[in-house]
């Protein structure tokens, strides 16, 4: 095994959901290593530096404690990108790679403009030998483009002595458990062509990760492993949701089916919870990226298979919205509906590709009046996602507004569950926040306009308690036997 070159300083470009928590844990576990997270967004950096740790721009359980231990000691947040690159032995690229919205590959291929911009900035500002680590989720062979840009800098005529090694180190974090995933990972994957660079990065993780959990591959296998892992997990979600629809039609219960098949050691119980479908920044983006790559390399049948996973996920969300309309006498125009949960999953404030977005948009299109509650997502973010500004909550005894009677859908934020439910015809649970599991429906049900419905898309409430409170009840994957 090649010996690792000593790493004294790390720069991470990108202070988002991946870069911030990952660097915080590295700094916490490697106190002799200086770690600087840089971003051109001044507001974001200010939030990372805020003395009030509850105001960090990323919400993850345990993140505030990790940042509190390391910040100011060996963890720094800055907008000084060029300076941080110049002083770093290792640079992580952890910027957004959204799906392209226009041009070649629109709707499927990843938009790599920010990755390329980072590579060019590293090429310009790096000093001496620098290990460049792809941390963003990237399509296979992106490293070739990064290497080409860096190689041009190595052979520039400005007299500088620069050299680079490129590694792929994809993240396998689940939002809501990112800190525990980082502190006790199933595996750390490092792909590269330079053994010394691989061992340098492995030695950092080796401060707290067991040797056998640090996997070494070539660049291309590492990049493809990330896309494949997310595709397989998303496929399980779409599969169980397809079975949930069948359960509803036949009188079966998807939770019983999931428990039965999950005890098979070849299958296992994880990602078999039926619900409103997958969301987040990775699953849909990575599958569509995989679809694009398969078509690019002449594998249309493989592309169609993976694309069907995304199509079924979208279908599930439309199906839930249609179910709400159907149960409410075929119309929700002018009716007040309470939505509990807007984040794509519990224990995060991330709403990217959240199922609640599509379901809420469908209900707004039908003319619904939505009261939306989420303990961590602010109203400005909801407005951006729905592409509709918030309205003022109408008085509960004022009757339908003129806009409501005309069929115009509106929404407003609710600070608490009770105010969201007051005079509502239905409540729809779309995020599995723990606080929604403990609600007292005997107290809440009388606040609603009767006959009222509870639609549990996350299977978080006790059905007998809900029915005892006098509410009509629907939950995903439960058939009427």
Smallest CA-to-CA distance from 286 within 364, 172, 128, 392 is with: 172
- Report cis status (omega within 30 of 0) of the bond before 235: no
Q: What secondary structure letter does DSSP report for 89?
A: S
User: Cα(228)–Cα(221) distance, rounded to whole angstroms?
Assistant: 10
**Active-site residue flag, 118:** no
Helix, coil or strand: residue 293 = helix
Smallest CA-to-CA distance from 26 within 227, 290, 207 is with: 207
Q: How big is the CA angle at 302 (ends 300 and 304), to the nearest 5 degrees?
A: 70
Burial class (CB in 10 A: 0-12, 13-18, 19+), 479: middle
Token pair, residue 152, equals: 């041009």
In Å, how far from its chain's centre is CA 173? 9
CB contact burial 296-331 (16+ within 10 A = b; e otherwise): eeeeeeebeebbbbbebbebbbebbbebbbebbeee
User: Cα(204)–Cα(202) distance, rounded to whole angstroms?
Assistant: 5
102: left (phi > 0), else alpha (psi -120 to 50), else beta? beta
For residue 381, what is the enclosing H or E element?
helix 379-386
Q: What secondary structure letter does DSSP report for 55?
A: G
Token pair, residue 251, equals: 């009188």
Catalytic residue among 11, 30, 282, 294: 282
Tokens 């907008």 appear where?
A: 79
Total H helices, total E strands in the chain = 19, 14
Token pair, residue 53, equals: 């740790």
CB 226 within 8 A of CB 190: no
In the β-sheet with 410-413, what is the strand arrangement from edge to edge? 410-413, 369-373, 336-340, 426-429, 453-456, 472-475
Burial class (CB in 10 A: 0-12, 13-18, 19+), 449: middle
Residues designated as active site: 282
């Amino acid at each position: 095994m090649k010996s690792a070159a000593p790493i004294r300083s790390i720069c991470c470009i990108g202070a988002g959901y991946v870069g911030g928590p990952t660097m915080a844990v590295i700094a916490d576990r490697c106190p002799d290593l200086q770690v600087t997270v840089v971003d051109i967004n001044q507001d974001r950096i200010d939030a990372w530096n805020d003395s009030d740790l509850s105001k960090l721009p990323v919400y993850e359980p345990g993140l505030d404690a990790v940042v509190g231990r390391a910040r100011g000691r060996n963890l720094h947040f800055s907008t000084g990108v060029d300076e941080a690159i110049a002083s770093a032995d290792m640079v992580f690229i952890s910027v957004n790679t959204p799906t392209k919205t226009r041009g070649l590959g629109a709707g499927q291929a990843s938009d790599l403009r920010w990755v390329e911009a980072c590579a060019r900035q590293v090429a310009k500002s790096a000093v001496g030998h620098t290990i460049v680590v792809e941390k963003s989720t990237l399509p296979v062979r992106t490293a070739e483009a990064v290497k080409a840009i860096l190689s041009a800098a190595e052979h520039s005529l400005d007299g500088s002595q620069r050299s680079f090694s490129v590694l792929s180190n994809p993240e396998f974090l689940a939002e809501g458990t990112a800190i525990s995933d980082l502190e006790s990972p199933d595996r750390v994957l490092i792909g590269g062509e330079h053994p010394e660079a691989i061992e340098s990065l492995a030695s950092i993780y080796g401060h707290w990760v067991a040797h056998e959990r640090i996997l070494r591959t070539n660049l291309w296998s590492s990049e493809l492993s990330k896309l494949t892992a997310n595709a397989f997990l998303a496929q399980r979600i779409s599969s169980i949701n397809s079975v949930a629809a069948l359960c509803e039609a036949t009188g079966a219960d998807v939770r019983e089916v999931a428990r039965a098949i999950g005890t098979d050691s070849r299958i296992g119980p994880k990602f078999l919870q039926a619900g409103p479908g997958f969301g987040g920044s990775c699953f849909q983006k990575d599958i569509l990226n995989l679809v694009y790559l398969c078509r690019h390399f002449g594998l249309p049948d493989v592309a169609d298979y993976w694309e069907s996973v995304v199509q079924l996920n979208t279908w599930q969300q439309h199906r839930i919205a249609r179910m709400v309309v159907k149960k409410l006498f075929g119309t929700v125009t002018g009716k007040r509906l309470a939505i509990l949960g807007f984040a794509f999953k519990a224990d995060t404030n991330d709403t990217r590709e959240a199922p609640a977005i599509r379901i809420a948009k469908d209900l707004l299109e039908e003319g619904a009046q939505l009261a939306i509650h989420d303990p961590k997502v602010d109203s400005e973010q909801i407005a951006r996602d729905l592409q509709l500004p918030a309205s003022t909550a109408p008085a509960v005894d004022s009757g339908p507004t003129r806009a409501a009677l005309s069929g115009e859908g509106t929404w407003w934020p609710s600070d608490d569950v009770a105010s969201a439910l007051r005079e509502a015809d239905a409540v729809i649970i779309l995020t599995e926040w723990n606080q929604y599991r403990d609600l007292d429906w005997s107290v809440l049900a009388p606040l609603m306009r009767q006959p009222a419905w509870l639609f549990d898309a996350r299977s978080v409430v006790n059905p007998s308690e809900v029915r005892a409170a006098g509410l009509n009840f629907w939950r995903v994957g439960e058939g009427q036997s």
